[in-house]
Structure 1
């Protein structure tokens, strides 16, 4: 079985950039966000269950993300209900990914809520992507449809960055030049002791 790196980081920290760097280095990457988008997109497997629990939040084109977010963001019970639909499906997809890459020396599970969902129990080492708070805030608020209130609500549901960094095996900074971040990714790969096959 491959060594599994769990890659995580709070919103706006640059995790997707770092995941792309691992992929460019030849490491298979499981992108949990991409899987969720597919499962909730047009014809997605989760649409019937989501529509049944949250009427009016889906259509033929998939989940209306703004409507679904509005339905769960300030409602703990609703959020738990959504997680009960989404998380098992993502775990199943993750198992399929791992089976597909069982001959790889190293794989990455890119999971935004790695600690919050307990998925850190399923990985061998953890990499946390981090940046200064003002950088995180500026990046996030530049996103289409983002507001200060929504940003604050999302942060409130995520483990604080300091706690994530304290629980990490490696921390990769993204408020540095891209070359430095890329070098940090290479160092993590080297530190795992695995030999990448191209």
Structure 2
């Protein structure tokens, strides 16, 4: 049985990965968004709300998981982060398997996974695309986000593989510190190369 070519799309915080994922979707490529899956699973009535409340009391409410409370409970605490990952990753994996089954006839699909290398997710994909930008561009983008400060940015970066290492391990690199039209053209070329007959 044939299955789609699976592209792992990743990139550090502020690199423009969501923008590139949207560009793949615009080209007609099905995109599995791991972050969106987590939001859904942790939202009101989501499957992960109860187990997360049991592991981290006081971090959920009527709206599901309170991401700010949960963030405070785990950020900078490796043991707590591992406990959380042991709850979240299998559920996201099951979601991803369903997505793949639903798009079994597509020539190529994209798994948008922020911590692809860090979680060993690169073993689940056929080819890896890393989204990258210059460090000063990344910093400016991230610090412009609501609720972000230098300390939080540093804590997030500490959990992520350095950009240079991601680029070194990538099969393809898409730059986002160039005009948007150039990034879009790079994505189109990639789609044409990975799924002949699909790209425009």
Measured against the shorter chain, the TM-score band is over 0.9
The answer for the alignment partner of 1:179 in structure 2 is: 181
How does 1:41-56 map onto structure 2 within 5 Å? Answer: 41-56=43-58
How far apart are 1:194 and its partner, in Å?
A: 3.0
Number of residue pairs the alignment of both structures matches: 198
Question: Are residue 101 (structure 1) and residue 140 (structure 2) matched?
Answer: no
- Contact map agreement 1:128 1:164 (CA 8 A) in 2: yes
Match 2:115 to one of 113, 119, 132: 113
The answer for the alignment partner of 2:138 in structure 1 is: 136
List gaps (5 residues or longer) in structure 2: none
How does 1:1-198 map onto structure 2 within 5 Å? Answer: 1-196=3-198
- Contact map agreement 1:115 1:159 (CA 8 A) in 2: yes
> 1:4-55: CA deviations, max 9, x gaps?
1000000000000000000000000000000000101111110000000000
Q: Runs of 4+ in structure 1 displaced over 4 angstroms? A: none
TM-score normalized by structure 1?
0.98
How far apart are 1:196 and its partner, in Å?
A: 2.0
- Contact map agreement 2:131 2:174 (CA 8 A) in 1: yes
Across the aligned residues of Structure 1 and Structure 2, the Cα RMSD in angstroms comes to 1.2
Change (3 A) 1:162 1:197: closer
Could you tell me how far apart the structure 1 residues matched to 2:182 and 2:199 are?
23
Change (3 A) 1:80 1:187: same
> 1:85-134: CA deviations, max 9, x gaps?
00000000000000000000000000000000111001000000000001
Secondary structure of the corresponding residue to residue 104 of structure 1 = coil
How far apart are 1:189 and its partner, in Å?
A: 1.1
List gaps (5 residues or longer) in structure 1: none
